[in-house]
Amino acid sequence: MTKPSKLIIEADGGSRGNPGSAGSGAVVIDAESGEVILEIAKYIGIATNNVAEYLALKAGLEGALALNSEAQILVRMDSKLVIEQMAGRWKIKHPDMIQIGSQIQKLVANLDIRWMWIPREENSRADALANKAMDDRADSVSKSEQNAPRSGVAEFNQELPSSVRAPGEVTEPLTTLVLIRHGRTHLTESKRISGSGGENPGLSELGRSDAHAAAKAVASIGSTGQWAHISPVSAIVASPIQRTRDTANILANELGLGVDIVDHIAEISFGDWDGHTNEEAEAKWPAEFARWRGSWSDSPPNGESLADFDARVQDGLDEILSMHAGKTVAVVSHVMPIRGLVRAAMDAGVSAYWRPQISPCSVTILRFWGRQAAEITTVNSTSHL
């Protein structure tokens, strides 16, 4: 049985009353595959929040060492106190924590270990386990089968591009974009052109239903299901158009996050064709429609060319990567901007703007290391609908 050589520990503790009923949670991840291989929830009893967090770390370390006592370990926690004290930059002063800290220092004395602080929203897996322990007032341990990672993540690299053919010496932080197309509107349902001009409808009843389904799928990222190996979403951005705002707000309510508006990822402008079906536009503007198909520079009357649109979308990508570097970001947008971001990830040609299918409320996941490297995880996933 091959032992994982690089492990990630995510740990968190909580106390309802501080001191009060307390629990701890820890997740151990195979850093090379991204697979969650151990989940630990422990009920502590009456304790402070800080003690619970230390005990969560202790449980995670003990679990990791049982898997491989010689593994390289990265500890990620949202407790600045625990990370700084364990890294030796802050002194442990509280008597309760001095004892636990001493026990942990003995565990890690000869390990190749790194300590990383992460925002609270990026530690949701361990937080959920700590709450489970407090709710159940009981311990639980879940261990996955070793040497049997899910086929979809067997070659997944948690921190760097997964392919050995990818460029080396990547230094930019990994930013994961979870792209969600907005839900249906009455224009979508009647197959009418709907760009950034003309009518600006909200979601239809079916569109809202699909958006709720997509929100639940995105909320499961980092915890359960097919995307459990990806870090949870910690930020949401959206196009300024109403149908994307409606979809983003449903997602925000599910995740408990706010929504930032990025104008550059609005849908392309179809100008005078807005509100028409494709057949109507071709019949009314036959010459213009023929030139427009497959063209980089031609645009609909009073609309936007692909060349101009692509420049705008790439500016939007740079804005998102700058605003949310190192995070997993939900990006609620439209068919064409999502295709443009896929085009950027693939370093593809103009045909990337019509070859990928992007369905309403589909999920597409891209990983960017700034502009140094990129990777496509999934395109147009609709299994949740």
Report in angstroms the alpha-carbon separations of 44 from 85, 129, 279, 332.
22, 13, 66, 40
Residue 88: count other Cβ atoms within 10 Å of its Cβ.
10
Question: How far is it, in rounded angstroms, from Cα 242 to Cα 201?
Answer: 6
Report in angstroms the alpha-carbon separations of 38 from 27, 62, 63, 130, 169.
6, 11, 7, 14, 30
Pick the catalytic residue from 267, 288, 304, 375: 267
Report in angstroms the alpha-carbon separations of 358 from 335, 338, 352, 354, 383.
6, 8, 12, 10, 13
At 229, the amino acid letter reads: H
Pick the catalytic residue from 32, 122, 182, 276: 182
Q: Which residue has the tokens 């361990």?
A: 126
Tell me the DSSP string of 152-172: GGTT--SSS-SSTTS-S---S
Q: Which residue has the tokens 């224009």?
A: 187
- Annotation says 182 is catalytic: yes
- Annotation says 229 is catalytic: no
Active site residues per annotation: 182, 267
